Amino acid sequence: MSGRERPRRLLLVNGPNLNLLGTREPDVYGTETLADVERSVAEAAARSGYGIRAVQSNHEGVLIDAIHDAREDCAGIVINPGGLTHTSVVLRDALAGVALPVAEVHISDVRRREAFRHHSYVADVAAVHVVGEGVPGYAMAVDRLIEVIRARTDG
């Protein structure tokens, strides 16, 4: 995309099991659904003149392909990798490889959960981290990511 203005769209990536939001462990993840997440992100992005493309998959390769495709039509990525946060080097490498600003989101506070959830392979490639803010954390991540995008564009 060199020489061209970056598109005003964000990629929203939700990893494995996030399709079960609203019914999966509501005491941990709440009762809002994936559709609620996507609506919240779209509204937050629209306030700054951005659109979104949303993908959720329980298959790592589908997520990686969507991240690769974002190079062509997105200005940044908002991602909740789900359990892949703690296991997937290849997802981390895909995010690093596309060289787009990334916001990592987790609905629950992974730092207060099981020890295996304390490490994130995504953390070092993300410019924004929002953890433990529930579904509203996605909109917070969008706002912060757009600030990062604007700073990179202006700077």
**Looking at residue 86, which CATH number applies to its domain?**
3.40.50.9100
φ and ψ at residue 56, rounded to 5 degrees: -135, 135
Q: Please return the burial class of 18, using the count of CB atoms within 10 Å of its CB with bins 0-12, 13-18 and 19+.
A: buried
Please write the tens of the pLDDT for every residue from 105-127.
999 887 776 676 668 999 999 99
Instruction: Classify residue 2: in a domain, yes or no.
Output: no
Instruction: Classify residue 3: in a domain, yes or no.
Output: no
79 is in an annotated binding site: no
Instruction: Classify residue 112: in a domain, yes or no.
Output: yes
Domain total of the chain? 1
Instruction: Classify residue 118: in a domain, yes or no.
Output: yes
Instruction: Classify residue 115: in a domain, yes or no.
Output: yes
User: Does residue 97 have a pLDDT over 90?
Assistant: yes
Active site residue 50: no
143 is in an annotated binding site: no
64 is in an annotated binding site: no
Please write the tens of the pLDDT for every residue from 77-89.
999 999 999 899 9
Question: What's the domain range around 81?
Answer: 9-154
Active site residue 29: yes
Catalytic one of 29, 50, 121, 138: 29
**Position 52: which residue type?**
I
Is this model's pTM higher than 0.85 or not?
Answer: yes
Residue 99 in contact with residue 149, Cβ under 8 Å?
no
